[in-house]
Amino acid sequence: MNIEINGVTLQADFMDAAFMEILEPALNQVREDMQKVRTQPRGLVAAAYDALNKALDNFFNTVFGDGTSEQIFGKSRNVMIRMEALAKVDQLAKESRKQFNDFSNKYSQRQQQNGFNSMQGHKQKQKRT
């Protein structure tokens, strides 16, 4: 799947286990990093924004490769642009999980209807002795 962020096209396959092995820990890490910044004592706003920018840059470089953050954001230090980009990736991941869950639930329900559960009430043939 192509994801376009600030005119840069990134490749992401939310159904690929190898990609998800990288994405999921990176999402957890960026959430932890953002929480740390939010719980720090109030200081300069610029310092908090720079800490968030660093966490978000690390996320994009980890998931999409070194230098990705610079390609996407250039020299900008605008934290909101980075947060919107993260939200876009996170939303696409959630949509892919929903698509997978919907499909697997549909398949599981079909299996239940056609499998063992459909045999309930069916009498087995008696063996003659």
**How would DSSP label each residue in 30-85?**
HHHHHHHHHHSPP--HHHHHHHHHHHHHHHHHHHH-TTHHHHHHTT---HHHHHHH
pLDDT tens digits, 29-78: 999 999 999 888 878 899 999 999 999 999 999 999 999 999 999 999 99
Amino acid at 8: V
> How sure is the predictor about 80, in pLDDT bands with cuts at 50, 70 and 90?
very high
Q: Where are the domains of the chain?
A: 2-92
Yes or no: say if 20 and 6 are a contact pair by the CB < 8 Å rule: no
Eight-class DSSP state of 10: E
Check residue 50 and give its pLDDT: 95
- Residue 8's DSSP bridge partners are 5
Yes or no: say if 79 and 52 are a contact pair by the CB < 8 Å rule: yes
Residue 27 is encoded by which pair of tokens? Answer: 């999402």
pLDDT(125) > 90: no
